[in-house]
Structure 1
């Protein structure tokens, strides 16, 4: 699965290609709020962990194992995490929630980057730490169907494109470029869903 193969003028591996397809399917299902997205998220995280290990992106590799756990929790949240153990609806973060998310991102960035710099041979500890922390925040917000998860993913995915180009993971760089576009679509779709939920929640 790690044999190099040519594809559209650049090289990739069968494992990276499978990971690409699984991850793209995940985001498409996320936009549509289909709970099976979490199954594809678990599978793509498992395969991408191997891809990132080979690229010495240890923060991203470790993140995939966290994603597997969070995805299992998110799957349950989407199905049973709402009122009276019903499925969640799309909602927005309050100002306190936004501040907490940003503080968590910053703290996670510092801890992860310092760990990577001290204990691994990665050549990109700071950007790896920043994006690893941001991805975790985005995944947690997605698990709770918070609209702002798409804002996080737009920022993270844009920066990931540059990182994966630097690491010569060309197919994954293309994937994350696609993720930026899908995140914009997701933001619009979930904004409409949140507005609908807010109107329905108003007293008659």
Structure 2
């Protein structure tokens, strides 16, 4: 365990907690966490997860912009959007194809010890992050599945603080799902 990993874990937890509460501060906090985790994953030879942190930085800027342009200033100002069947299907298929291509590259060109798991989890994490940026409640369900698999991956790589963090993420994702689902139902009744 390094100080960098511990700091990244704490900031990541804070970022997810702030996202569940629909607070704008989630974006800069999560951005710093992603930069720190990029280094942690690179040194652990989890190259897809290291690259994922770079992609996350782009997704975080996108989400920050999305939430800002919707005028979200407080907990109740941010409206949750329903996820259409088309968007869900497209996202799941893109995650599968992207993960497959990424796994092929990792297996062929790197010494990643778990190329398929690394690639698929990274690919679907991008889908979940984009769904969160677009404020789809279903993003939290995807995070629960992804985070559960990540706990196992990180345990096998000896990243114990990160494995614990992702176990905490499962609980935070459940909390986020319940909060966002309630907000979505309120939005549907009002609008």
TM-score scaled by length of structure 1: 0.89
Pick aligned residue for 1:73 from 50, 62, 76: 62
Count of aligned pairs between the two proteins: 186
Instruction: Specify every segment of 5 or more residues in structure 1 that has no aligned partner in the other structure, as ranges.
Output: 1-11
Q: 1:62 aligns with which of 51, 54, 58?
A: 51
Match for residue 160 of structure 2?
170
SS in 1 for 2:158: coil
State the 1:53 CA deviation.
0.7
Alignment of 1:78-97 (within 5 A): 78-81=67-70, 88-97=78-87
Q: Offset of 1:156 from its aligned partner?
A: 0.3
Task: Measure the CA separation in 2 of the matches of 1:113 and 1:81.
Answer: 36
CA root-mean-square deviation: 1.1
Alpha-carbon shift at residue 27 of structure 1 (Å): 0.5
> Is the counterpart of residue 99 in structure 1 residue 89 in structure 2?
yes
Tell me, which stretches of 5 or more residues in structure 2 are unaligned?
Answer: 72-76
- Once residues 72 and 101 of structure 1 are traced to their aligned partners in structure 2, the CA distance between those partners, rounded to angstroms, is 20
- 1:88 to partner: Cα distance: 4.8
Q: Given the alignment of the two structures, is residue 48 of structure 1 paired with residue 33 of structure 2, yes or no? A: no
2:185 equivalent to 1:195: yes
Distance 1:132 1:176 in 2: 14
Distance in 2 separating the partners of 1:67 and 1:123: 22
Residue equivalent to 1:23: 12
